[in-house]
């Protein structure tokens, strides 16, 4: 007499092919960016109207679950697949590929290497902040550091050098 086959539990799957436990898990900023990239491609290919694109990107920018993100791309060819079954969710986002703002670098270099020109460091830092925001570049911290170091050196210069 043979033993009956042991039943293997089957994990429920959502309508988007995601295991239920992943569907309710919060997505990371990197995963929301991945969805926005899919939406950009779909818009560029003419699969989405401008209104649809703007609405979906607006939704993707909010903290969402995997199921919510999957719904935003479910009708597109490269829709979000979610994490593979049995694989852990990546804890680290992919490396940032945005360009680095050169004016931010110039600001901190000017503040550190040319302490006699603190106003230039502050000015370059302020310009860099505007460029970073407008161009979606990296370097906000360096620009801020250039402003702060330049301002502090300027105050020291005024206090100790220009003092009679």
pLDDT digits (tens, 9 = 90+) for 62-86: 767 877 877 888 787 765 444 444 4
pTM value?
0.42
Q: Is residue 7 part of a domain?
A: no
Q: What is the DSSP letter of 158?
A: I
**CA nearest to 73, candidates 130, 11, 27, 135:** 27
Average of per-residue pLDDT values in the chain:
75
Distance CA 3, CA 27 (A): 44
Residues 107 and 147 in one domain: yes
- Residue 152 belongs to what domain range? 102-161
Choose from 4-8, 60-64, 98-102, 121-125 the range with maximum mean pLDDT: 121-125
More confident residue, 12 or 55: 55
How many structural domains comprise the chain?
Answer: 2
Report the pLDDT value the prediction gives residue 127, as an integer from 0 to 100.
93
> CA 131, CA 140: separation in Å to the nearest integer?
10
Q: What is the per-residue pLDDT for 126?
A: 92
Residue 156 lies in a domain: yes
> Would 96 be classed as within a structural domain?
no
pLDDT on residue 16? 43
Least confident piece of the model among 9-18, 51-60, 103-112 = 9-18
pLDDT single digits (tens) 129-161: 899 888 888 889 989 998 998 888 888 888 887
Q: Does some domain include residue 53? A: yes
> Is 138 within a domain?
yes
Do residues 108 and 63 share a domain?
A: no
**pLDDT recorded at residue 98:** 80
Is residue 93 in some structural domain? no
- Specify if 151 maps to a domain: yes
Specify if 92 maps to a domain.
no
Q: Which pLDDT score, from 0 to 100, does residue 79 have?
A: 54
CA atoms in the 13 A half-sphere facing the CB of 22: 25
Which among 6-10, 27-31, 42-46 has the top mean pLDDT? 42-46
Q: What is the pLDDT of residue 60?
A: 82
Q: Give residue for tokens 């402003």.
A: 147
């Amino acid at each position: 007499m043979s033993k009956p086959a042991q039943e293997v539990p089957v994990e429920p799957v959502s309508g988007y092919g995601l295991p239920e436990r992943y569907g309710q898990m919060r997505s990371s900023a990197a995963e929301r960016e991945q969805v926005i990239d899919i939406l950009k491609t779909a818009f560029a290919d003419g699969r989405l109207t401008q209104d649809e694109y703007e609405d979906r990107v607006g939704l993707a920018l909010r903290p969402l679950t995997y199921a919510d993100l999957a719904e935003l791309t479910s009708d597109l060819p490269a829709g979000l697949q979610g994490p593979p079954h049995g694989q852990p969710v990546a804890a680290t986002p992919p490396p940032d590929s945005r360009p680095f703002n050169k004016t931010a670098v110039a600001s901190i270099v000017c503040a550190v290497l040319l302490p006699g020109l603190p106003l230039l460091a502050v000015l370059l830092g302020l310009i860099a902040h505007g460029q970073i925001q407008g161009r979606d570049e990296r370097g906000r911290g360096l620009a801020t550091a250039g402003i702060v170091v330049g301002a502090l050196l300027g105050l020291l210069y005024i206090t100790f050098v220009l003092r009679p």
